[in-house]
Amino acid sequence: RFQACVYFASVFQAMSCGIHYLASVFMDVTPKFVCGISGNMSSVLFYNSSESSIEDIWTLWTSTENYIVVQLENGEIWELNQCSRSKREFSLNLAYEYKGNKSIYSCSDGFLYDDTKWKSTVVTQWDLVCDREWLAKLIQPTFMLGVLIGAVIFGDIADRLGRQRVIWFTSAGQFVFGIAVAFTFDYYSFVIVRFLLAMVSSGYLVVAFVYVTEFVGIKARTWASMHVHAFFAVGIMIVALVGFLVRTWWVYQIFLSVATLPFVLCCWMLPETPFWLLSEEKYEDAQKVINIMARWNKVSTPCKVSELYSVQQDDLVSGRTGDNDTSSTKKHNILDLFCNWRIATRTITVWLIWFTGSLGYYVFSLSSVSLGGNEYLNLFLIGAVELPCYIIACIGMDRLGRRNTLIPFLILSALICVLIMFIPQDFNTLIILANMAGKFSIGVAFGLIYLYTAELYPTIVRSLAVGSGSMMCRVGSVVAPFCVYLRSVWIFMPLLLVGIMALLSGILTIMLPETLGKPLTNTLVEATEMGRNKKSCSGKTHPAHSGAAVEKVEMFGQETVSTEK
């Protein structure tokens, strides 16, 4: 009962991460537009169609190469293009074609936008078109840069200060910065606040995975961690729903930010994880959390930390004397992920999987725009298609193992990339189905790697490992749009790159150890031994860090308490 309440409270906020990651899909839409003009229009002409207002012309607009002819009440006739306007000299007749003299002017009077779909977007708010179009294209990359930096910073902070404090700060930050985005006064303040929002959103998602992993025991760990992704996917579907209902960008942003307000109001009630408290030798605090778990789960005889870990005063004194207190005071950093060749090889492989998963996920997602139809429904389905993906991943991880599930789906995604290259371009339906199958397969690998990374590394660097992996993931998401641009070189170039990366990742994954059914490790020594290497990374193992004791704490408060490793 206790673990369930903590879990659902934590993953509820993961919806907010999905919301903010995809919010820009509708927020920075560039609608149809032409150069603005001062004065009242009396007639508007587009080829053979004549209307009294420009709003009636937008449905006929099919190409950015077209122009609109307007006649003002003072008799002036103008040709309005997207990034320039021309005044016809000595013309009295309103006709679409004109061979006479024209005076070309810049768009000094702003722009006219089609507001049939969106009443207001970031692009229309600050005229991010023509020579300012590059600013609109920087909105998502700068957000992903914030995600990248936040993953590393908050992952490291969570290992140093605890998961609880980071959960509090990042969840509150998502709400505050999310609302602040709607009230930014110019483009630059908008980008800066969105950058900060990206940092806290990424930080929460990274630490939330570690948090729920350390609270949930072996039996439910797979389903619990994987379905954090499911809540993220629900956030994507919420974006589609709110985007369909609200067509003004700042109101849209407020609605999205308020969606997870209930968690912000109660997140202060979440406790610190016993794993982190034990790794910091805060045994009394860990015992308090365990006692609370016992009351919630109606366990009459709660376990004692001193009994589980055989913590005795003379052991503590002798351990600290022997190691000069090194193991208890050592501050860990990213270099600990390369402490010996086995851990280093593991880290490089894991980073490659993170990068490939993100790259493939976004390349397949960007390709899905060829589905056509209702854009809001398409986004909703893109989020919904991830739900069965994670169910399949959970079943595979529980039945076959983490590694044995990851390898075939990585290789399968590579084969699908090759298959798409051989499908004739006329078979649109088959191509779409193949792309969705590719996204499904890479999605399984992408979702699995979060849990697998958390299980491959010990408590003292677990958040750092997941955070650095998430950093590589964000590098992949930043590279993905540029990868798609390579379609201009060769239409199948993006698929070829994803296929090569997926195949390479699948082969290297063979060298990783299986973690199914194994207790979480607490020290780098134990993590190295999981790879059958007895070489020490950081000295002796404290008695309080035995694998058997870790397994006992993991299973505490659930159906059984293990007495053997």
Structure-derived torsion over alpha carbons of residues 522, 353, 380, 177, reported in degrees to the nearest 10: 60
CA–CA distance, 115 with 520 (Å, rounded to integer): 54
Cα angle, residue 464 at apex, residues 152 and 148 outer, rounded to 5°: 20
The answer to whether residue 295 sits within a structural domain is no
Is position 533 within any domain?
A: no
Spatial distance between the Cα atoms of 171 and 263, rounded to a whole number of angstroms: 8
Give tens-digit pLDDT for 26-74.
888 888 888 888 877 778 888 777 776 777 777 777 766 678 888 887 7
In a domain, 280, yes or no: no
Residue 390 has which token pair? 């994670």
- Tell me the torsion sign for CA atoms 405, 410, 415, 417: positive
Low-confidence ranges of the chain (pLDDT < 50): 311-329, 533-565
| Closest by Cα among 46, 42, 92, 39 to 65 | 46
Residue 311, in any domain of the structure: no
Domain end: 70, 90, 116, which one?
116
Taking only Cα atoms into account, the Rg of the chain, rounded to an integer number of angstroms, comes to 28
Residue 409 covered by a domain: yes
Residues 370 and 266 in one domain: no
Determine the Cα–Cα distance for residues 432 and 387; give it in Å rounded to an integer.
19
Same domain, 4 and 138: yes
Q: Could you tell me where the DSSP H helices lie in 330-461?
A: 341-367, 375-384, 386-399, 402-421, 428-456
Residues 164 and 277 sit within 8 Å (Cβ to Cβ): no
Q: At what angle do helices 341-367 and 428-456 cross, to 10 degrees?
A: 150
The range of the structural domain enclosing residue 66 comes to 33-116
Q: Which residue stretches of 297-385 are H helix?
A: 305-309, 313-323, 326-329, 341-367, 375-384
Place of tokens 């919630």: 296
b/e burial code for range 265-287 (CB count within 10 A of at least 16 → b): eebeebbbbbbbbbbbbbbebbb
DSSP codes, 47-86: TTEEESSGGGTGGG---TT--EEEEETTS-EEEE-SS-EE
Q: Is the dihedral of CA 70, 72, 75, 78 positive or negative?
A: negative
pTM of the model: 0.77
Residues 360 and 479 in one domain: yes
Give domain status of residue 322, yes or no: no
3-state helix, strand, coil in the chain (%, to 5): 65, 5, 25
Distance, CA of 321 to CA of 314 (rounded, Å): 10
Q: What is the CATH number of the domain that holds 156?
A: 1.20.1250.20
- pLDDT for position 408: 92
Residues 231 and 110 in one domain: no
Nearest to 247 by CA among 124, 82, 378: 124
Sign for the CA dihedral angle at 508, 399, 451, 292 comes to: negative
Residue 282 counted as domain residue: no
Distance CA 435, CA 494 (A): 12
Number of domains in the chain: 3
CA distance 561 to 146: 42
Give 112's strand partners: 34
**CA distances, 455 to each of 208, 217, 392, 514 (Å):** 14, 12, 20, 9
Same domain, 107 and 254: no
Same domain, residue pair 445 and 520: yes
- Tell me if 133 sits within 8 A of 438, measured CB to CB: no
- Residue 49 to residues 60, 73, 111, 117, 389, Cα–Cα distance (Å): 9, 19, 22, 22, 49
Exposed / middle / buried, residue 450 (Cβ in 10 Å: 0-12, 13-18, 19+): buried
Contact 142, 191 (CB under 8 A): yes
Boundary-marking domain end, from 60, 82, 116: 116
Residue 530, token pair as written in the block: 């999981």
Residue 105: strand, helix, or coil: strand
CB-based contact 441:393 (threshold 8 Å): no
| DSSP-assigned beta bridge partners for residue 51 | 44
**Residue 321 counted as domain residue:** no
110 and 134 assigned to the same domain: no
Nearest alpha carbon to residue 367 among 479, 487, 477: 487
Amino acid identity, position 67: Y
Residues 495 and 351 in one domain: yes
Q: How far is it, in rounded angstroms, from Cα 53 to Cα 171?
A: 47
Strands 85-88 and 33-35: unpaired
Confidence at residue 532, expressed as pLDDT on a 0 to 100 scale:
63
Return the half-sphere exposure (C-beta side, CA atoms, 13 A cut-off) of residue 239. Answer: 27
Same domain, 184 and 258: yes
347 burial type by CB count under 10 A (0-12 exposed, 13-18 middle, 19+ buried): buried
Amino acid at 61: W
The residues that bridge with 511 in the sheet, in sequence order, are none
Buried b (16+ CB within 10 A) or exposed e, 456-473: bbbbbbbbbbbbbbbbbb
pLDDT value at position 534? 42
Torsion of Cα atoms, 495 then 496 then 497 then 498, to 10°: 50
Residues 351 and 493 in one domain: yes
Last-in-domain residue among 78, 95, 116:
116
**What's the pLDDT at 472?**
86
Residue that has been written with the tokens 């997207």 in this structure: 82
Both 393 and 251 in one domain: the answer is no
Residues 392 and 479 grouped into a single domain: yes
